[in-house]
Structure 1
Amino acid sequence: MSAASSSVGAVRVFDERFGTGGSEGGALDGALWVDHYLPHWSTPDRSRARYHLAPGGGLVLRIDADQPAWRPDEGRMRVSSIQTATFSGPVGSGHGTHRHREGLDVVTAVPTRLLWAPAGAGRVDVWMRSSPDPTCMLAAWLVGVEAGDPRESGEITVAELFGDARGTARLGVKALKDPGLRDDVADVALPFDSADGVHRYAAEWDATGVRFAIDGRCVHESHQRIDYPLMLLVDLFEFPVGDERPPGEYPKAALVQRIVGDDRS
């Protein structure tokens, strides 16, 4: 990874290719990545990502057969994710990034770390290949960190790629708990199978709005402004199918070949 740092130490620009010639168990750069999914809402053994570095470069996110559910009291969903910031209040409080439902309490307190979190303007490009498994989704999101204000919770969905809809990418802006935003999400038809090769998914945002591109072609634009710190998450999810073990062979995997981030705030 090559990166330039600001005066406060946070990464401003990065070009992450996840090394070359990596092997299973290879480590991520801790100056940029947290290899847990929203760890404050869970415990470390449940939030920790399963992954390895691909021999030719890139990060392989996995769902393993023995992987525990992220929050078993909410169901059997499993996830392997990397993210570029952390924030929470103390254990038992309701303060933390991405409050996905009402009544959440912090399980594991985490420090406020803004490793890469543009506030007001930036761009991210993610080269990735989705999982072909119909129970999985590969996603790249930018979400409000919420460290300054719980209303700063909006989301830029760079791409959601579902294993049971491999000719479609879902992208756009989600308001979540930000009263100044409205949901503006589109399902964009792809001229390819998202699991057959690596493709480039990008979002660029500034005071004029948010623009989305796939393989360099603009596919959607939302004229909304998000001017608070956003952190990047790239996640592989497995969704439960009733009470049975999800079908398919393990590990279930997706490839993240490269990520370029530019903080223009």
Structure 2
Amino acid sequence: MDPVLDDRFDRLDERRWLASYLPHWSSRAAAAATWRVGDDGLHLTIPPEQGRWCADTHEEPLRVSCIQSGNRSGPVGSTDGPQPFRRGLEVREEQPTWWGCTPLGGRVEVTMRATISPRSMVAFWMSGIEDRPERSGEICVAEIFGDAVSPGSAEVGIGVKAFRDPALHEDFRAVPLPLDVAEPHTYGVDWRPDALTFDVDGEVVRRVDEAPDYPVQLMIGVFDFPAKATDGDVPTPELVVSRVRCEPG
């Protein structure tokens, strides 16, 4: 498990990233991201022709382009898979265990910009590797919904989501910040035992007095919610990731 990373995305390195969102619940092909690499980094998009993610099992219509730095699951037909979205969900495509970057503590940050509307969102979070079900807590560094963005400001979701980890409690909230999400910003966290300090562009915006005590995988993605469509939507939501840096503490 490699905790060290400094990726400027001059290419998508398959030793570090899988461009498919939680593929064990569908398949790598069905959950594949739409992406390209440009001079300014990795572009994750959701064009109009991209299909729904887990269309027959995820109740709310959802489309996703996401990269993740680790992957694993149990066998087909088992319920052994990270980040289940409902009870009794079964693995449809077994995933080999692979850890591209799975830190345990230290400094982690992403520099990114987004083009989103009220029906879309972007997020950078770190999820427990779930080699045991209780190792499932999440550190959410930035979760930004388009309907929480206004000119020159945005509400950024930051904190801890406990999920199936009994050692954690839910400590997550949206923090209003004076920033333009269409411009590049660096969202980071300093992770120490039992403490997380979150910052945006070097300014501390939140502190949480707990933290997972197991490795996590990095998750970066853009999401689209078709049921929230309006006349003013962005036809193709986009997340541009110019750098991800991870240094052990």
- Common fold, TM-score beyond 0.5? yes
Q: Corresponding residue for 1:24?
A: none
* Contact 1:13/1:262, CA 8 A, preserved across alignment: yes
Cα–Cα, structure 1 residues 15 and 145, in superposed 2: closer, same or farther, change >3 Å?
same
Matches within 5 A, 1:100-139: 100-119=85-104, 121-139=105-123
SS, match of residue 164 in structure 1: helix
Quick one: which of 78, 86, 90 aligns to 1:93?
Answer: 78
Quick one: which of 1, 10, 17 aligns to 1:33?
Answer: 17
Counterparts of 1:247 and 1:97, CA distance in 2:
35
Q: Corresponding residue for 1:236?
A: 222
TM-score, with structure 1 as normaliser: 0.87
User: Are residue 141 (structure 1) and residue 128 (structure 2) matched?
Assistant: no
* Contact 1:206/1:226, CA 8 A, preserved across alignment: no
1:107 partner amino acid: R
Q: How far is 1:208 from its partner? A: 3.3
* Contact 1:11/1:32, CA 8 A, preserved across alignment: no
Q: Corresponding residue for 2:47?
A: 64
Counterparts of 1:102 and 1:246, CA distance in 2:
35
* Contact 1:212/1:218, CA 8 A, preserved across alignment: yes
* Contact 2:103/2:246, CA 8 A, preserved across alignment: no
* Contact 1:70/1:79, CA 8 A, preserved across alignment: yes
* Contact 1:130/1:162, CA 8 A, preserved across alignment: no
Quick one: which of 171, 177, 185 aligns to 1:190?
Answer: 177
Matches within 5 A, 1:188-227: 188-195=175-182, 197-227=183-213
Q: How far is 1:254 from its partner? A: 1.8
After TM superposition, the runs of 4+ consecutive aligned structure 1 residues lying more than 4 A away are 244-247
Report percent identity of matched pairs.
38
The count of aligned residue pairs is 243
- Unaligned 5+ residue runs, structure 2? none
Q: How far is 1:252 from its partner? A: 2.1
Q: Corresponding residue for 1:173?
A: 160
Measured on the aligned residues, the alpha-carbon RMSD in Å equals: 1.7
* Contact 2:4/2:103, CA 8 A, preserved across alignment: no
* Contact 1:137/1:161, CA 8 A, preserved across alignment: yes
